[in-house]
C-alpha cells in the first residue's frame, strides 16, 4: 500500500512569496483581486514578469495566461523584459520640469551613457523618464526602484548614482 | 524623505500628527487616536452621517462632492455586501499630499475607513495605494496589523458586536485608475477601464455591492471632524466649504511644500506669504491652481479664495490641491505640451475622442513647439480640445482638454511668437539636439 503525501503544486517563486500568494488569493472577496499585486511582487522577486510567472499566477487565480497578459499590458510598472539592477525613474512632469527635471533627465542620460528605457551594458542601471511620482513639492524627484530621492541637483544625483554603483560592487 | 514645512498661518488638523511618530499605534492613541472610531461605534451610523453633513467636508480627490451626502446615498438594506474604498492612487501631476498622510499618519486613514464603514454598514474596506508608493504600502500594512492586534479591526471592533476588516492593496502604475470606476475595475484585477454610470458606485460598486469611494485625505479628515464636531469643523472654512485642506505648493516659489490652510484661503497670499514669493524675485507668470487638469490662472486672477466655489467662479477648479506656480521664464507652449503629453500617455484608449484627441494634440503641440507650426494650428488646437469636452466616456478627456483650451486662450500671443520660424530659445536648443541625434 502506498500512502501519497499531499502534493504541493510546484512553484517557481521563493517559498516566502509562494506562501504570500497562497494568502493573497484567499484574502479578497474574489480571487482575481490578487492579480495585480501578485504580478508586481513576482516582478520584484524576478526582475520582470516572466512567462513562467504568468503561467503560475494564471493557474493560482484560475484564469487564462492570456487574461493575465491583457491586464499586465495596461499597467506601466509591470514589464516583461529585464531592466537594470537599479531602475532610475526621473520625473519630468510639470512640477519637476519647473525645477529642472528635464535637465536632470538629460544629465542622467549623459552620466549613465544610456537613453530612455535602456540598460547599461553591465546591467547595473536602467533609465526611464516617468510621469508624476507624487513628490511634486520636493521636486525634482527621482525614484530608484522604490526609493524616492527628492530636491535633486546634478551633483546630488551623481552622489545617489555613485552610492548605488557602490552597492552593486562596481 | 520628503521635507516637512510649517508656517504660522497654517491650521493643522489633518497634518496635526505629521512628524510626531504617529505611525506607532501607541503614540497615535496618545495623540487622541481611535477615539473618534470608538465614539462612532457607540453613537451609530445616523449620528456619524449627521456630523459629516454638518461639517461641510467636501471630497479632496478633486470633484469636491460633499462627503456626508455621498455616504447617505448608500442604501441601508443591500443583499450584496457593502464596501469602503479609499483612493490613494494620487497621480494628478502637482499632487503629493496623500503621500505625507500615509507616511506620517497611517492610523488616521484606518480610523477614517472604519468610521466610513460604520456609516454605510460595510464590513470591509480597501485602501488602494499607487504602485509607486511601495514604502508607504509597507507603513500601511504594519499599521493595519497593529490595529488588528489591538482589536480595532477584525471581529467585534472596540468590544462591540461589529466586525470590520481592512485590506491594503497596491496598484501598478496608471493615472486613470484614480477615476473611481476604473479604480474598482483595477481592484477586481482588471484593466483600468471605467464603467458606465449609472449605476453609481453607491448602488452597484465593488463586486456588485454598494461602495463608497473617497480620497485618502477625505478619509483621514473624518476622525478629526467627529472629534471636533461637525459644526466646529465647518466654522474653520469658508461658506459651503468646511474645514482645511492640504495644499501642495510646487514650482517656482521660494518655499515649496505641503501646507494645511483653511478652505477659502487667498491664493495670492498662499504664493507670496506661505510660499515666500517667486524664487529669485522673478515675476509671476501663471498658476495652475488644482493639479495639472485645472485651467491656468493669470497673475491678475489669483486674488481669490481657494475653495471649490470661488476657484470655479474664476474659471478654474480647486481640484486635487496641487498649486503649481510658474515664473516668467516658462515657455507656455512647452508647458502645454508637457501637460498634454501626460494625458496622452495616460489615456486608457477606451473612447475615441480622448484617445485620438490627446494624440493629435500632442503631435500638433510637439511640432508647433519645435518651430514648425503654422498659424491655423493655434485655432486647431483649441478647436480639437473644445470638441473633446463632454464627449468622452470618463472625465480624463475633459482633464486633458480644459487646461489646453486655457493655455491657448490666455497665452495666445506666446503661441503666435512661435510662428514663422520663431520658436522659443528652449525649442531651438531642443531642435539642435534632435538634429545631433
Ligand atoms: C482621470 C481621473 C483621475 C483621478 N485620480 C484620482 C486620484 O488619484 N485620487 C483621488 O482621490 N481621486 C481621483 N479622482 C477622482 C475620483 O474619481 C473620485 O471622485 C474621488 O476619489 C472621490 O473621493 P472624494 O469624494 O473623497 O474626493 C480621479 C478622477 C479622474 C477622472
Ligand atoms: S476619456 Fe480617456 S481615459 Fe476616459 S475612458 Fe475615454 S479613453 Fe479612457
Ligand atoms: S511632477 Fe514630478 S513628482 Fe509630481
CATH of the domain at B366: 1.20.1440.230
Q: Kindly list the residues from chain A whose CB atom is less than 8 angstroms away from the CB atom of residue B256.
A: 137-139
* pLDDT score for B148: 98
Contact A122, A104 (CB under 8 A): no
Instruction: Return the number of CB contacts < 8 Å for A and B.
Output: 147
Mutation pick from B3, B95, B96, B124 vs chain A, by most beta carbons of A within 10 Å, is: B96
Asked if residue B317 and residue B372 are part of one domain, the reply reads no
For residue B170, pLDDT over 50 is answered with: yes
CB B176 near ligand 1, within 6 Å: yes
Mean pLDDT, rounded, for A88-97: 98
* pLDDT score for A98: 97
For residue A38, pLDDT over 50 is answered with: yes
Atom of ligand 1 nearest to the CA of B130: 8
User: How high does pLDDT run on average in chain B?
Assistant: 95
CB B89 near ligand 1, within 6 Å: yes
Q: Kindly list the residues from chain A whose CB atom is less than 8 angstroms away from the CB atom of residue B211.
A: none
Q: Which residue has the higher pLDDT, A9 or B142?
A: B142
* Cα A156 to middle of ligand 3, angstroms: 18
- CATH number, domain of B322, equals 3.10.20.600
Asked if residue B362 and residue B322 are part of one domain, the reply reads no
Residue B360 covered by a domain:
yes
Q: Band of the pLDDT at B433, cuts 50, 70, 90?
A: very low
Q: Which ligand is nearest to the CA of B293?
A: 1
Asked if residue B403 and residue B317 are part of one domain, the reply reads no
Q: Which ligand is nearest to the CA of A130?
A: 3
Atom of ligand 2 nearest to the CA of B355: 7
Q: Band of the pLDDT at B431, cuts 50, 70, 90?
A: very low
CA A92 to chain centre: 19
Mean pLDDT, rounded, for B41-50: 98
Asked if residue B337 and residue B219 are part of one domain, the reply reads no
Residue B177 covered by a domain:
yes
- Per-residue pLDDT tens over the stretch B378-410: 999 999 999 999 999 999 999 999 999 999 999
Q: Band of the pLDDT at A9, cuts 50, 70, 90?
A: confident
Q: Class assignment of domain A86-168?
A: alpha beta
Asked if residue B272 and residue B387 are part of one domain, the reply reads no
For residue A170, pLDDT over 90 is answered with: no
Q: Which of B176, B211, B236 is at the close of a domain?
A: B236
* pLDDT score for B435: 39
Residue B40 covered by a domain:
yes
Chain B 53-112, CB below 8 Å of chain A: which residues? 81, 90-96, 98-99
* Cα B291 to middle of ligand 3, angstroms: 11
| Number of domains into which chain B is organized | 3
* pLDDT score for B422: 67
Task: Kindly list the residues of chain A whose beta carbon comes within 8 Å of any beta carbon in chain B.
Answer: 27-30, 32-37, 39-40, 61, 70-71, 74-78, 92-95, 97-99, 131-139, 143, 146-148, 150-151
CB B355 near ligand 2, within 6 Å: yes
Q: Which ligand is nearest to the CA of B344?
A: 2
- Per-residue pLDDT tens over the stretch A99-151: 999 999 999 999 999 999 999 999 999 999 999 999 999 999 999 999 999 99
Which residue in chain B has the smallest CA separation from A99? B251
Q: Which CATH number fits domain A15-72: 1.10.1740.10, 3.20.20.80, 1.10.10.1590, 3.90.600.10?
A: 1.10.10.1590
Residue B6 covered by a domain:
no
For residue A69, pLDDT over 80 is answered with: yes
Mean pLDDT, rounded, for B9-36: 98
For residue B434, pLDDT over 60 is answered with: no
Which residue in chain B has the smallest CA separation from A95? B251
To the nearest whole Å, the CA of A58 is away from the closest chain B CA by 12
Asked if residue B346 and residue B200 are part of one domain, the reply reads no
Contact B327, B252 (CB under 8 A): yes
CB B62 near ligand 1, within 6 Å: yes
Q: pTM for the complete prediction?
A: 0.96
Could you tell me the residue ranges of all domains in chain A?
15-72, 86-168
Asked if residue B145 and residue B23 are part of one domain, the reply reads yes
Asked if residue B368 and residue B261 are part of one domain, the reply reads no
Asked if residue B176 and residue B156 are part of one domain, the reply reads yes
Instruction: Write out the residue range of the structural domain in which residue B225 sits.
Output: 14-236
Asked if residue B338 and residue B282 are part of one domain, the reply reads no
B347 touches chain A (CB under 8 A): no
- Residue nearest to ligand 2 atom 4, measured at CA: B394
Q: Which of B327, B352, B375 is at the close of a domain?
A: B327
- CATH number, domain of B223, equals 3.40.50.11540
Asked if residue B184 and residue B74 are part of one domain, the reply reads yes
Residue B148 covered by a domain:
yes
Residue whose cell numbers read 530608484: A144
CB B55 near ligand 2, within 6 Å: no
Residue B2 covered by a domain:
no
* pLDDT score for B1: 80
For residue B62, pLDDT over 60 is answered with: yes
- Per-residue pLDDT tens over the stretch B262-291: 999 999 999 999 999 999 999 999 999 999
The complex's ipTM works out to 0.95
* pLDDT score for B423: 62
Mean pLDDT, rounded, for B148-152: 98
B2, B134, B174 member nearest A75 (Cβ): B174
Asked if residue B317 and residue B177 are part of one domain, the reply reads no
CB B192 near ligand 2, within 6 Å: no
CB B396 near ligand 2, within 6 Å: yes
- Per-residue pLDDT tens over the stretch B215-237: 999 999 999 999 999 999 999 99
CB B396 near ligand 1, within 6 Å: yes
Q: Which of B305, B327, B349 is at the close of a domain?
A: B327
Cβ of B132 within 8 Å of Cβ of A134? The answer is yes
3-state secondary structure chain B: CCCCCCCCCCCCCCCCCCCCCCCCHHHHHHCCCCHHHHHHHHHCHHHHHHHHHHHCCECCCCCCCEHHHHHHCCCCCCCCCCEEEEEECCCCCCCCHHHHHHHHCHHHHHHHHHHHHHHHCCCEEEEEECCCCHHHHHHHHHHHHHHHHCCCCECCHHHCCCCEEEEEEECCCCCHHHCHHHHHHHHCCCCCCCCCCCCCCCCCCHHHCCEEEEEHHHHHHHHHHHHHCHHHHHHHCECCECCEEEEEEEECECCCEEEEEECCEEHHHHHHHHCCCEHHHCCEEEEECCCCCCCCECHHHCCCEECHHHHHHCCCCCCCCEEEEEECCCCHHHHHHHHHHHHHHHCCCCCHHHHHHHHHHHHHHHHHHHHHCCHHHHHHHHHHHHHHCCCCCCCHHHHHHHHHHHHHHHCHHHHHCCCCCCCCHHHHHHHHHHHHC
B189, B335, B342 member nearest A35 (Cβ): B189
For residue B430, pLDDT over 80 is answered with: no
Mean pLDDT, rounded, for B360-371: 94
Mean pLDDT, rounded, for A62-69: 98
Residue B8 covered by a domain:
no
Q: Kindly list the residues from chain B whose CB atom is less than 8 angstroms away from the CB atom of residue A71.
A: 189-191
Amino acid at each position: 500500500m502506498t500512502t501519497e503525501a499531499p502534493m504541493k503544486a510546484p512553484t517557481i517563486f521563493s517559498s516566502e512569496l509562494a506562501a504570500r500568494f497562497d494568502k493573497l488569493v484567499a484574502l479578497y472577496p474574489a480571487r482575481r483581486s490578487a492579480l495585480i499585486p501578485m504580478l508586481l511582487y513576482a516582478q520584484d522577486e524576478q526582475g520582470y514578469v516572466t512567462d513562467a510567472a504568468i503561467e503560475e499566477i494564471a493557474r493560482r487565480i484560475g484564469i487564462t495566461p492570456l487574461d493575465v497578459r491583457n491586464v499586465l499590458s495596461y499597467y506601466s510598472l509591470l514589464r516583461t523584459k529585464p531592466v537594470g539592477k537599479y531602475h532610475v525613474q526621473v520625473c519630468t512632469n510639470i512640477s519637476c520640469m519647473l525645477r529642472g527635471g528635464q535637465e536632470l533627465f538629460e544629465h542622467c542620460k549623459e552620466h549613465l551613457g544610456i537613453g530612455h528605457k535602456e540598460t547599461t551594458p553591465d546591467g547595473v542601471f536602467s533609465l526611464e523618464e516617468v510621469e508624476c511620482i507624487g513628490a511634486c513639492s520636493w521636486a525634482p524627484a527621482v525614484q530608484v526602484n522604490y526609493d524616492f530621492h527628492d530636491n535633486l541637483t546634478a551633483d546630488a544625483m551623481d552622489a545617489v548614482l555613485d552610492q548605488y554603483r557602490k552597492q552593486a560592487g562596481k | 524623505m520628503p521635507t516637512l514645512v510649517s508656517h504660522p498661518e497654517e491650521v493643522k488638523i489633518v497634518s496635526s500628527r505629521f512628524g510626531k511618530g504617529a505611525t506607532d499605534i501607541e503614540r497615535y492613541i496618545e495623540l487622541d487616536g481611535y477615539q473618534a472610531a470608538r465614539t462612532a461605534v457607540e453613537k451609530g451610523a445616523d449620528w456619524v452621517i449627521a456630523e459629516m453633513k454638518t461639517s461641510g467636508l467636501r471630497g479632496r480627490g478633486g470633484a469636491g462632492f460633499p462627503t456626508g451626502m455621498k455616504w447617505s446615498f448608500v442604501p441601508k438594506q443591500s443583499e450584496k455586501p457593502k464596501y469602503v474604498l479609499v483612493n490613494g492612487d494620487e497621480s494628478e501631476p502637482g499632487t503629493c499630499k496623500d503621500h505625507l498622510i500615509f507616511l506620517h499618519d497611517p492610523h488616521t486613514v484606518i480610523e477614517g475607513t472604519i468610521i466610513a464603514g460604520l456609516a454605510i454598514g460595510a464590513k470591509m474596506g480597501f485602501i488602494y495605494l499607487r504602485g509607486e508608493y511601495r514604502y508607504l504600502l509597507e507603513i500601511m500594512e504594519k499599521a493595519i496589523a497593529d490595529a488588528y492586534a489591538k482589536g480595532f479591526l477584525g471581529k467585534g471592533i472596540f468590544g462591540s458586536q461589529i466586525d470590520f476588516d481592512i485590506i491594503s492593496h497596491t496598484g501598478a502604475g496608471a493615472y486613470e485608475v484614480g477615476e473611481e470606476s476604473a479604480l474598482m475595475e483595477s481592484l477586481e484585477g482588471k484593466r483600468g477601464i471605467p464603467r458606465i454610470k449609472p449605476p453609481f458606485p453607491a448602488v452597484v460598486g465593488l463586486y456588485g455591492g454598494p461602495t463608497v469611494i473617497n480620497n485618502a485625505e477625505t478619509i483621514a479628515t473624518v476622525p478629526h471632524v467627529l472629534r471636533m464636531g461637525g459644526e466646529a469643523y465647518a466654522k474653520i472654512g469658508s461658506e459651503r466649504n468646511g474645514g482645511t485642506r492640504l495644499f501642495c505648493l510646487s514650482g517656482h516659489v521660494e518655499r515649496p511644500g505641503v501646507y494645511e490652510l483653511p478652505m477659502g484661503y487667498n491664493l495670492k497670499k498662499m504664493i507670496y506669504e506661505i510660499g515666500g514669493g517667486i524664487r529669485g524675485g522673478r515675476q509671476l507668470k501663471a498658476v495652475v491652481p488644482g493639479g495639472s487638469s485645472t485651467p491656468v490662472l493669470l497673475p491678475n486672477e489669483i486674488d481669490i479664495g481657494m475653495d471649490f466655489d470661488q476657484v470655479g467662479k474664476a474659471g478654474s477648479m480647486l481640484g486635487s490641491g496641487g498649486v503649481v506656480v510658474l515664473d516668467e521664464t516658462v515657455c507656455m507652449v512647452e508647458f502645454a505640451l508637457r501637460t498634454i503629453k501626460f494625458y496622452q500617455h495616460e489615456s486608457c484608449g477606451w473612447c475615441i475622442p480622448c484617445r485620438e484627441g490627446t494624440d493629435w494634440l500632442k503631435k500638433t503641440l510637439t511640432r508647433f513647439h519645435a518651430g514648425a507650426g503654422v498659424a491655423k494650428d493655434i485655432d486647431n488646437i483649441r478647436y480639437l480640445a473644445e470638441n473633446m469636452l463632454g464627449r468622452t466616456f470618463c472625465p480624463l478627456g475633459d482633464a486633458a482638454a480644459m487646461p489646453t483650451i486655457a493655455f491657448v486662450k490666455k497665452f495666445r500671443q506666446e503661441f503666435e511668437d512661435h510662428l514663422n520660424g520663431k520658436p522659443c530659445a528652449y525649442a531651438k536648443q531642443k531642435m539642435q539636439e534632435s538634429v545631433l541625434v
